[in-house]
Amino acid sequence: MLPFQNLTAVQAAFAVVNKGVRPVIPNDCLPVLSEIMIRCWDANPEVRPPFTEIVKMLKNAETEIMTTVRKARFRCCMAQPMTID
């Protein structure tokens, strides 16, 4: 799902700046990633984490992210019937 897919770029920018609209975070998003997004989207720029902190947060979350990705790939592969080409 693309954020603001029903809006033009100008409409989306206006909604973000003037109305505080943010993209919808999918229900299946990892909590660690949604927390990073929410912190980065804070209306107060002084509260948003600096990029160096974002990098640290992502590094700290790397194991959880990679484990989840591997599990998702495994489930996908197991759901597909195996074929011999």
pLDDT digits (tens, 9 = 90+) for 43-59: 999 999 999 999 999 99
Residues of the chain with pLDDT under 50: 85
User: Measured between alpha carbons, how far is 3 from 36 in angstroms, rounded to an integer?
Assistant: 17
User: Measured between alpha carbons, how far is 7 from 13 in angstroms, rounded to an integer?
Assistant: 9
User: Measured between alpha carbons, how far is 72 from 56 in angstroms, rounded to an integer?
Assistant: 24
Query: In this structure, are residues 36 and 54 in contact, taking their beta carbons and an 8 Å threshold?
Result: yes
In this predicted structure, what is the pLDDT of residue 68? Answer: 80
DSSP string, 34-52: HHHHHHHT-SSTTTSPPHH
The full set of domain ranges for the chain reads 29-79
